[in-house]
Structure 1
């Protein structure tokens, strides 16, 4: 037992000595800067959040009707060339609805079933046509759309490269102003953002309208996405 305690005591002192030695190490002279890079690109995909909402006198009736419409929507999307991996069920709800919101006090007035899904549309020029077809297939709710770019990693790399160059330019300028020389990189941290573009919300009135407006053009505008990268870099001053 005493031998065990002695070993533990020795380990404690060795650890304490290592920490003190590490804390005693002085950093080299550094210049620390933040660099930013930005890439603007037109989106080539649309993510649609849509759903089916039905009411029935019984829970089973509402569920069956919702499932029937959801199956019709999925079938329609596949016929239009949407890949299986670009169709995903988001959530399903089945709820009794009581008169006046008095939950559990009376018999339900009706039952509500909801099923939502997320669809990635690759062909933006076919979006209006696809949306109109979804309404006919049974969708009665569209919660919103979001624009994105398929090869986002390529643009992230481009933004990162710009951020690094920006950081190096800043560090070079600072050191040269002080008559010093910029040395090797000591530390670097990076963060990025996919950015975003306009996210219009669609109402059912728009779905019921024709695929094109009175001017004969598309009803959505993708705008542009801003992809950014930020780097924090420390350089050794020589």
Structure 2
């Protein structure tokens, strides 16, 4: 009898323990549910302590008169043999370089850009037959004096050149750096005006900057169509026009109510 009583008491104890665990588990369930709330409000982005980030790209441009001119001078000769053609082109090139130095152009401003030798075919014959050889030589000259550039263009064909290549105007590296800094300031001012307008429309005010960076700048060259030697006057008038340096900046402004 004592044995039965012990088993009964043990069973009651186990039931009470299970009931206690169930009650405790049910009491904890609401808290667990509130911790895993996936409502739209809970999934929304943080407000960054009531701070709004306004992202803007500003553009600044500075116009200036080019202070550099680049001219291409070409030599093209034809002869019966490769050696004769190359020798004739070399002779003309030496004459042209001597002329440029006589006009005051420094060595560092004279650059050879092309040397080539190709056969000339007579395609009326079958198969085509080589009838001559053509040699090419090109120079690129960098100048800062427009008047001197006009004199060189007008007289180069009398000193070895057989034609003129493309002419372009540009800005020196030193001046370009100076103007780029001015363009960066203008680009930032443009970005700030845009951000302030956006903030005002939203009932906010600009209070700071989160990050900012300078994007690429561009200085487009000004090109002049090449001229044929026969149409070159004694002095070629040159009009450099106007160049423009453009820079963009990316800024993330901090706005608050």
Select the residue among 218, 225, 238 that pairs with 2:243.
225
* Aligned position for 1:140: 162
Aligned pair 1:181/2:181, yes or no?
no
TM-fit CA distance, 1:205: 2.7
Select the residue among 175, 179, 197 that pairs with 1:155.
179
Deviation string, structure 1 residues 164-201 (Cα, Å, up to 9, x no partner): 11111211221122122222232424111112335232
* Aligned position for 2:231: 206
Q: In the aligned structure 1, how far is the partner of 2:241 from the partner of 2:212?
A: 37
Q: In the aligned structure 1, how far is the partner of 2:54 from the partner of 2:112?
A: 50
Aligned pair 1:117/2:142, yes or no?
no
* Aligned position for 2:29: none
* Aligned position for 2:110: 87
Aligned pair 1:190/2:215, yes or no?
yes
Contact 1:34-1:233 within 8 A present in 2 as well: yes
Q: TM-score, normalised by structure 1?
A: 0.79
Deviation string, structure 1 residues 125-154 (Cα, Å, up to 9, x no partner): 222211122111111121210001222211
Aligned pair 1:40/2:58, yes or no?
no
Query: Any gaps of 5 or more consecutive residues in structure 1?
Result: 1-24, 213-218
Number of aligned pairs?
A: 206
Runs of 4+ with deviation above 4 angstroms: 25-28
* Aligned position for 1:18: none
Q: Give secondary structure in 2 for the equivalent of 1:115.
A: strand
Q: Give secondary structure in 2 for the equivalent of 1:191.
A: strand
Larger-Rg structure: 2
Query: Any gaps of 5 or more consecutive residues in structure 2?
Result: 1-44
